[in-house]
Amino acid sequence: MTDTDAGDLVKAALAGDQSSWDELVRRYSGLVWSVTRGYRLGQADAADVFQTTWLRLAEHLGRIDKPGQVGAWLATTARHEALRIARGATRIVPAEEATLVALGQVDDYSPERAVLDAEQARLDSDRAARLWRAFGELPGRCRELLRILIASPPPGYAEVAAAMDMPVGSIGPTRARCLRRLRERLAGEVSDAGTVAHENEPARQESDRAR
């Protein structure tokens, strides 16, 4: 969406067009959630920040200096609200990062197919677990930046800059460094897993012979 498109939506929503407001919510909800989740708030607090951010937009819809940059305005507002809640919270819990893998239940599955699907699900789950472990080892700013960049729909660099409070020109190089660190940690995860498997192999063979 271009700045002109976003500006037109803001103006139409201000004039009472519900469909334009709905489109703003659809377009930027992912961005607001991504910013909010970066502060490791509990579920209820995160929902409050999300709702408050949109309430602030409704209250200030006619006073935004640059309607075409409403996404950046929302990102900045979400960041401020999340910081306010985080600083006053008595307990902050990690954001949910689990990847849930569900097997479809089909009546005519053969036992062999069920075993293959279960094994694929296990492999997918293992890969996801390694990814999130590596992600969790990144510096906080890297985690926050990558989380925002994968929001759906993808935010523009102006919105990312507002959410991160960093220059637009720094986003690309910082993203590249963070992804390089993530790849290095993933490579370490794979190497560690291979070492453990190799060390456990004699015990497994001994167990097989005992049977």
The sign of the dihedral angle between the CA atoms of 193, 194, 196, 202 is positive
Burial of 70: CB neighbours in 10 Å, binned 0-12, 13-18, 19+: buried
Residue range 165-197, pLDDT digits in tens? 999 999 999 999 999 998 998 887 766 555 544
For the chain, which residues make up each domain, given as ranges? 3-88, 111-210
Residue range 117-156, pLDDT digits in tens? 566 666 666 777 788 888 888 898 998 998 898 887 888 8
Report the topology of domain 3-88: Rna Polymerase Sigma Factor; Chain: A (1.10.1740)
Of 41, 68, 31, the C-alpha closest to 149 is 31
Q: Which CATH architecture has domain 111-210?
A: Orthogonal Bundle (1.10)
Whole-angstrom Cα distance, residue 50 to residue 82?
Answer: 9
DSSP the chain: --HHHHHHHHHHHHTT-HHHHHHHHHHHHHHHHHHHHTT---HHHHHHHHHHHHHHHHHHGGG-S-GGGHHHHHHHHHHHHHHHHHHH-S---PPP----------TT--HHHHHHHHHHHHHHHHHHHHHHHHHHTS-HHHHHHHHHHT-SSPPPHHHHHHHHTS-HHHHHHHHHHHHHHHHHHHHHHHHHHHHHHHHHHHHHHHHHHH-
Residue range 20-77, pLDDT digits in tens? 999 999 999 999 998 888 887 888 888 999 999 999 999 999 999 899 999 999 999 9
**74: Cβ contacts below 8 Å, ≥ 6 apart:** 28, 31, 32, 53, 57, 159
What is the residue-averaged pLDDT of the chain?
A: 77
